[in-house]
């Protein structure tokens, strides 16, 4: 199963990805996590990406696509994978199409998590509070100003992927406003239906 999770920052992509990993046994490929790991390890990519990520902008299409291409060649992706946060621009979507075609793989579905902006900002505030309560470091891009910038970047550069995948007949829209469990159940219903179980 090859899946994409699409949705604005805070929509619950990472939260629901954990559920997919547990239920379907496919790995979660989060470009945000991969880039944060590169930043923490101070790799050449990480050193370039840090300022871009901290400002809430997007890392270049070529860099992100190369990271994904390398990752999907690993053994654990042989039975499928879940892309969380990639693609995020039309050129990335076209690069992914080309990558999959070259490997004779096909995308099964794109799950779009729809959540109102006011709820996204509430979730950001909760995430900041919970992270602080655990005594952990808050993500540099998790403050209200940068979060609003990320929402704008999503509308401008990522939302055009919705009609792109609609045209391909791959788009499945999920109401992401309910509880974590309700959203997981809605995703399961879609995936079970399309897997014919
Ligand atoms: P990335 O790490 O992908 O961040 P994001 O897309 O902005 O998403 P978030 O992690 O903020 O939110 P999420 O949707 O995963 O929600 P979560 O489950 O955490 O990207 C970070 C940066 O990396 C980008 O800005 C860019 O610079 C760079 N980057 C990454 N990919 C790139 C690419 N392809 N191209 C270029 N640059 C790229 O949930 C949020 C909160 O809400 C949590 O606290 C959670 O507990 C809570 N929550 C979740 N679901 C629910 C629910 N149903 N009810 C109540 N609370 C909920």
Q: What is the CATH number of the domain that holds 163?
A: 3.40.50.300
pLDDT per residue over 120-167, tens digit each? 999 999 999 999 999 999 999 999 999 999 999 999 999 999 999 999
Report the share of the chain in percent with pLDDT over 90.
96
Rounded to whole angstroms, the Cα distance separating 156 from 58 reads 11
**Domains of the chain: total:** 1
Q: What does the mean pLDDT of the chain come to?
A: 96
Residue span of the structural domain in which 30 resides: 2-186
Contact 59, 52 (CB under 8 A): yes
CA of 168 to the centre of ligand 1 (A): 25
Neighbours of 31 (CB within 10 A): 22
What pLDDT score was predicted for residue 196?
A: 60
Domain annotation covers residue 196 = no
pTM: 0.96
CA of 87 to the centre of ligand 1 (A): 13
Give mean pLDDT, residues 59-80. Answer: 97
Atom number of ligand 1 nearest to Cα 57:
27
């Amino acid at each position: 199963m090859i899946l994409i999770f699409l949705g604005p920052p805070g929509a619950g992509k990472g939260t629901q990805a954990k559920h997919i990993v547990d239920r379907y046994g496919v790995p979660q490929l989060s470009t945000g996590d991969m880039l944060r790991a590169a930043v923490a390890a101070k790799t050449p990519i990480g050193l370039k990406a840090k300022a871009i990520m901290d400002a809430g902008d997007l890392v270049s299409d070529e860099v992100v696509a190369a990271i994904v291409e390398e990752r999907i060649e690993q053994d654990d992706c042989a039975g499928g994978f879940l892309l969380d946060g990639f693609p995020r621009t039309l050129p990335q979507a076209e690069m992914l199409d080309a990558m999959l075609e070259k490997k004779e793989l096909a995308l099964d579905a794109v799950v779009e998590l729809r959540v109102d902006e006011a709820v996204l900002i509430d979730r950001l505030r909760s995430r900041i509070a919970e992270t602080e309560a655990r005594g952990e470091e808050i993500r540099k891009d998790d403050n209200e100003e940068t979060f609003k910038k990320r929402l704008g970047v999503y509308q401008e550069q990522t939302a055009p992927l919705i009609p792109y995948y609609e045209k391909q007949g791959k788009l499945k829209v999920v109401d992401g406003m309910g509880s974590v469990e309700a959203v997981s159940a809605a995703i399961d219903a879609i995936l079970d239906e399309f897997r014919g179980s």
